[in-house]
Amino acid sequence: MVHPSAPAARRTPVEIEQLGRTRHDPYQWLKDENWQAVMGDPSLLRGDIRAYLEAENAYTEAHLEAPNQALVDRLVAEMRARIKEDDSSVPAKDGSYAYYTRYRDGGEYPIFARRDAAHAFESEAAETILFDGDKEAEGKSYFSIGGLAHSPDHTWLAYAIDTQGSEYYTIKVRNVLTGEDTRTEIPRTTGSFVWSGGSDALYWVEKNENGRSCAVHCRRLDSGSDELIYREPDEGFFVSVSESQSGDIIFISSNDHTTSEWRWIKSRELGAPPKLIAPRERGHEYDVSHHDGAFFIATNRDGAVDFKIMRAALDDTSPDMWTEITPHQPGTLIVDVLSLEDHLVRLERKDGLPRIIVRAREDGQEHSIAFDEEAYSLGLSDGYEFATRTLRFSYASPSTPDQVFDYDVGTRERVLRKTRDVPSGHTPGDYAVKRLMAKARDGAEIPVTVLHKAGIAYDGTAPLLLYGYGSYGITIPAGFSTSRLSLVDRGFVYAIAHVRGSTAKGYQWYLDGKLEQKTNTFGDFIAAAEHLIAEGYTSPGKIVGMGGSAGGLLIGAVANMRPDLFAGLIAAVPFVDVLNTMSDDSLPLTPPEWPEWGNPIVDDAAYDQILAYSPYDNVENRAYPAMLITGGLSDPRVTYWEPAKWAAKLRHDAPDGGPYYLRINMDAGHGGATGRFEGLKETGLEYAFALQTVGLTDNT
């Protein structure tokens, strides 16, 4: 068999003048000038670009996938064996019905169904199937389900689907009693919508030609007409729509990562103009809940970096009239707020660990729900009911499978409704979970979550996968994953570095990892690796670094800074061409993301800061470790040409490093394959690559 040689992309001289500076981009031709059309129809991709991407895929298939196919198959088989094939969610009551999702044996996509609420937790009770994901996905190479929600009167089901991976969703409406779709069809949406209180209309979000959420419309079911409710005038702001837990209020929010603005409508007043809650002020972020006949607002006003909760009367929501309910506690971030009729619940995080606080409406008394493991995750479930004493929350740790509890906020009794079943078997005691604190060069302490087999020696001999993200304030939870056990059971230590740019230690932790302080994110990841080495968990050259999207930027940056630490790097849909992307205001995410990265079109300092760390712009002839780089052809978030250009430049500028494997999914977008088993193949390849780079490719 003849294996293809590594593709060598042609170099076309391109000189870019910007702010009095000049840069060169010999691989700019990989960006199809018709990229917007390609997102909607990948068959329109220019022929020379397609040929190059297919050559890269062929090279990766020949040199990585085919030689490791037996290992990939074993990994996929054991990961699949840990998944309960006919799994189902815990039913959520809504009036006379209980709604849930379930899977059939071998099914890739969920089935959405309901049964009588009186028999909510009886798995054998009669059900009505509302939406069969497997059936709907038949014959489609890509299938993604966006929003799906029943109407308040339980008569209709609205659902949104994307069949390209471009994240343009089409909303349809189905008659629950007949199972037939109506003529209602709303294309080019974000996939997000809410029902009106009278079940007679949908409030939905428009996505414009640049892929940005820009407006909220009201679609009346009887006439099929749309009415514009709100259009955002600033291209740098995203628009979204949501509803209050009470069901009485529909919210429209605009935000750009650092500034937000909310409006509201009574859910039964179709076509009513939205009322402004608080006008946008640069740097003011707030979220709104409806509770006790008023708005409860989590806000960072007046220096409340980690947020405080204020109360506002419905008839006067100006910030000067807000009264304080929960004061600001520096270092304790208010993550989420959930309102029930008689209780206000908030999820907080301090030093990387979450807790749930329940506040009684009547007297303001509070109590907390916390757990004892060194590292764990908690999540609130809003469910459907408002007039209830039952709070549903989830718990997991790296060694403890997900659990779902129903908690009586009055008696403080909890009922375990479900523990994730691992059919092939799982004993939490076979694993050790640790929470370490690594010290950055400036003295900051970085939380690191560690999972490994119990009883291993800390002698530096173990290989280690270090995962990181660190942007937009997103914090990677210390949760449970059946997939990563395939590495841990083979002797890997699995670690998550909770670097700056996340909110693991509060909102300031995020602020300290963005804009001019972005390099803290990369330095923290390196410090975490060095600490794990110093503590004997691993050794230099035995670490596989991994991150996706903005986490792929992290991987690209540390590759340039400390390639010696790593045996291999996995960069999934990596945001690596930062300067070019942030300089192209036609791309879907660019204007809304300037508050995160800076605007190099007009700001000299932002240009220089980004240029200093942008992975694509800093490739040099270094001894880079082996890399697996992935992308999606119809990805609107990190466009396919970013990973493609990076791989091409690595091959040309650092030919003695690598090898560099590029794999572009020609049928998917940012999230890759959408089926629950198809996605395992991508994970299996990533893990096979990790095992190969540290020399563990035998039949273990």
Annotation marks residue 402 as catalytic: no
Q: What are phi and psi of 574, to 5 degrees?
A: -80, 135
Active-site residue, selected from the candidate residues 150, 290, 343, 670: 670
CA distance 658 to 663: 15
Alpha-carbon dihedral angle through residues 390, 395, 401, 404, given to the nearest 10 degrees = 10
Instruction: Give all strands (DSSP E) within 134-285, no chain letters.
Output: 144-150, 156-162, 169-175, 181-195, 201-207, 213-220, 226-231, 238-243, 249-255, 260-266, 275-278
Name beta bridge partners: 111: 102, 132
Q: On the CB side of 334, how many CA atoms lie within 13 Å of its CA?
A: 28
Alpha-carbon separation of residue 497 from 448, 504, 508 (angstroms): 5, 10, 17
Alpha-carbon separation of residue 154 from 95, 151, 192 (angstroms): 9, 5, 19
How many H helices and E strands in the chain?
Answer: 13, 37
- Tokens of residue 197, six digits: 């209180």
Selection from 52, 7, 8 nearest residue 30 by Cα: 52
CA distance 152 to 243: 12
Which DSSP string do the residues of 42-57 spell out, in sequence order? Answer: GGGS-HHHHHHHHHHH
Annotation marks residue 549 as catalytic: yes
Active-site residue, selected from the candidate residues 336, 512, 617, 635: 635
Active-site residue, selected from the candidate residues 549, 583, 614, 634: 549
CA distance 126 to 116: 8
Annotation marks residue 670 as catalytic: yes
CA distance 460 to 544: 14
Amino acid in the structure at residue 225: S
CA distance 220 to 640: 38
Q: Give me the active site residues, please.
A: 549, 635, 670
